[in-house]
Structure 1
Amino acid sequence: MLHKAASKRSFAYLGGSRFIAESRDLLMSETIMPAFMAFPNHAAIIGRILAGYGELEYLFASCFAATLGDRQSGIRAFFRIKGEDSRIQITSAIMRPKFDSVGMKDVYNETLGAMRWCKGTRNQYAHCHWAYDIEDGLYFTDFDKAVKTETGDIMLHVEHLDLEILKQQEAYFRYTLDLLRYLEPEYRKRVGELPSHRYEAPSVKTQPPRHSPEGTYTPPVISLNRRRPPQE
């Protein structure tokens, strides 16, 4: 269990939980995610981002299949590729020239960039660890960089996550969804497979930050000591 440095307010935990029942050596956890219980509005958006990325992948696969002219084979080939990044890189190498050839270079590039941003944001939350402070808010960290040192203390870089930024991130996921919904039928229209469709290309959106900007919050000090430090 990882603890935030002692403060006069509250502790934030990584991997922590409250206990609601105790019987001799038996402890029962109230929840696997106490940080999300403390900040349910944040948690709801994070959950939709994590679950929603798969829907974006499916639509990206549909775009790939449209450029092959074979939906069944295209979907099969896409999802047989292991790993989100490999799926994007391999299929983009095949379908990019097809979109370029029908005058859709700019919208394809925008969609590809948006898809990559969504993948990175989804992975950020899928592989992180959470901490919280009732007054300061929600924090997350990643062990990947921290454990590359061979000796000494493991130093964790902690990021703050504001609710407004999460709302911007979810809006960008919706923007990516709208791009993908436009991309496939527009390509099929331009190659003569569809007479028309009802989708329009959305106005270009700026990618939001992945976390609260540096300097807008005071990051907590995270210790790997198992003993809980005394409060002042």
Structure 2
Amino acid sequence: MVDHSDPLAVKRASQGNRAFRLAQKGARKRVIADGRQKAYSTTMAVILHMPTAFDRFKREGDLIGRLVVEYGELEWDLCLLAGMATGDSDAAIKVMYRARGEAQRIALGDALVRKHIPSRFNQIYSMTIASLKRCTAIRNRYAHTHFTTTADGELAFVDIEALAREHGEADTARLPLFGITPELVDDESRLFHQVAQNLRYLNWEVQAAKGISHGVTTHLIDPIKPPITPQRIL
């Protein structure tokens, strides 16, 4: 209770009430601001989240993502082989990675390596480089494509680069679809792993030929089978 006969008491009570009202007003503003922040965050989450076919096909999405991202490890394996073959890793890195584009890097790496491969491995080396180029094609196909699901609920893709190479008019209402199956991506993963294994094995053999090392920690894959070809389904 406030003693209204005491002017100082009345003044203190008035000041206290004013401070309380200001505090309430500030709290309301914070609530409104927080609400707007939450609404804005929710809206942004909806905008930034773009559902894809891989929401339903997570395993295939994981494998395809790894093929695209880990392809660079194959180029690096070739670069390490080039550095070992020439005895100049610095030059191998600069020659290969100052070039732009996967095809050019492979061509330059091959030029550095080929004459240094022990003759008994020439055929296997050529096969491995040919298989590496298949990995490049797979990586590029998945990196420049549109993924979707068919009316039957199958995972599929549109090879946009292949579509662009055609001379006829591209009809986005009737795009050619190619199926993606677990067997397909498993086989493509197998190809990547076998190419990596052969490049690393050949590196050991070059080291052995130079007297640097005598221990080979892996084995050759011969032959490396070509991967399954995606089948057009529409």
TM-score by length of structure 2 reads 0.72
Could you say which structure has the higher strand fraction?
A: 1
| Larger helix fraction of residues | 2
- Relative distance call for 1:126 and 1:26 in structure 2 (3 A) is closer
Contact 2:131/2:224 (8 A) holds in 1: no
- Provide the residue aligned with 2:11 in structure 1: none
What corresponds to 2:84 in structure 1?
66
Q: Which residue of 2 aligns with 1:127?
A: 144
Q: How many residues get paired? A: 192
Q: TM-score, normalised by structure 1?
A: 0.73
**Equivalent-residue separation in structure 1 for 2:162 and 2:137 (angstroms):** 16
Distance 1:71 1:26 in 2: 47
Kindly report which structure 2 residues correspond to 1:1-232, keeping only aligned pairs within 5 A, or say none.
Answer: 28-29=46-47, 31-99=49-117, 101-133=118-150, 135-147=152-164, 148-149=166-167, 153-154=171-172, 155-211=174-230, 213-214=231-232, 218-219=233-234
Residues 1:181 and 1:133: Cα distance change in structure 2 (over 3 Å):
same
> Match of 2:64, SS?
helix
**Structure 2 residue identity aligned to 1:160:** G
Q: Matched residues in 1 for 2:103 and 2:65: separation?
A: 21
| Deviation by residue 1:42-98 (Cα, 9 ceiling, x = unmatched) | 101101111110111110111111111112221222211111100111221232122
One-letter amino acid of the structure 2 residue matched with residue 48 of structure 1: R
SS of structure 1 residue aligned to 2:120: coil
- Which entry has the higher C-alpha Rg, 1 or 2? 2
Q: Is the 8 A contact 2:78 2:199 kept in 1?
A: yes
1:102-161 CA distance string (max 9 Å, x none): 432012112101211111111110011111137431111123343555757455221111
Task: Find the aligned partners of 1:165 and 1:130 in 2 and give their Cα distance.
Answer: 15
- 2:95–2:108 CA contact under 8 A, matched in 1: no
Counterpart-to-counterpart distance in 1, 2:218 and 2:138: 26
Secondary structure (helix, strand or coil) at the match of 2:46 reads: strand
SS at match of 1:209: coil
Matching residue's letter, 1:38: R
Q: Distance in 2 between matches of 1:104 and 1:116?
A: 18
Letter in 1 for 2:158: T
Change (3 A) 1:152 1:39: closer
**Higher RCO (CA < 8 A, seq sep 6+):** 1
Distance 1:30 1:141 in 2: 23
**Equivalent residues of 1:168, 1:208 under 8 A apart:** yes
* Ranges in structure 1 where 5+ consecutive residues have no aligned partner: 1-20, 220-232
| Cα gap change, 1:144 to 1:48, in 2 (>3 Å) | closer
Contact 1:140 1:160 in 2 (8 A): yes
Q: Whole-Å Cα distance in 2 between the matches of residues 83 and 26 of structure 1? A: 35
For the residue of structure 2 that corresponds to 1:200, the secondary structure is: coil
* SS in structure 2 of the partner of residue 104 of structure 1: helix
